[in-house]
Chains A and B, each alone.
Chain A
Amino acid sequence: QVTLQQSGPGLVKPSQTLSLTCAISGDSVSSTSVAWNWIRQSPSRGLEWLGRTYYRSKWYNDYGVSVKSRMTINPDTSKNQFSLQLNSVTPEDTALYYCVRERPLGGAFDPWGQGTLVTVSA
């Protein structure tokens, strides 16, 4: 059974960097058949895909067009986890952030982490 455990601060000041980590159990961040994603959810923007990292002989990253210039996802093979960094945050980035595995079944997201509510406020 695969589980994802998220960690990171729930409050970030405007213009600073939002950082979250997702620890993986029951699978490997280096698996060549899945991808590791970040998705957020807010009342104003709904569910929004942010990006992913995956390994296929080398590491690849894809980022959503809305956050591409501010977003970095890094895998950590030594700890079997991956992280999210979102720079220059504004109150618009306030949301519930999820880490999610993408299965090789039509891009299905399963499972999801427990979610981390991040508030951007001074």
Chain B
Amino acid sequence: EIVLTQSPATLSLSPGERATLSCRASQSVSRSLAWYQQKPGQAPRLLIYDASNRASGIPVRFSGSGSGTDFTLTISSLEPEDFAVYYCHQRSAWPLPFGGGTKVEIK
């Protein structure tokens, strides 16, 4: 079973700073990986799919990269609405686990 490990668990940054989030898979998932944003009390929102494709309506400040076992979500310049929890999710092999999440909080 594939395990996704996200780091760091918490990222404390100021608006305007660059955020770099990591997701590591225990075995290769090729490019079958997505990133989601979740705010308190809300459903997750798809940001990135196929490792690097932005979903519809997602601002260009969000970008994804990586393949195989190492993936990165980058937010080029944090806006106030970007402070949230981010999850990676692999779609390569069942049971399709999510990562444990990275909380991006205001410093």
Partners in one complex: no
What is A's interface to B at a CB cutoff of 8 Å? none
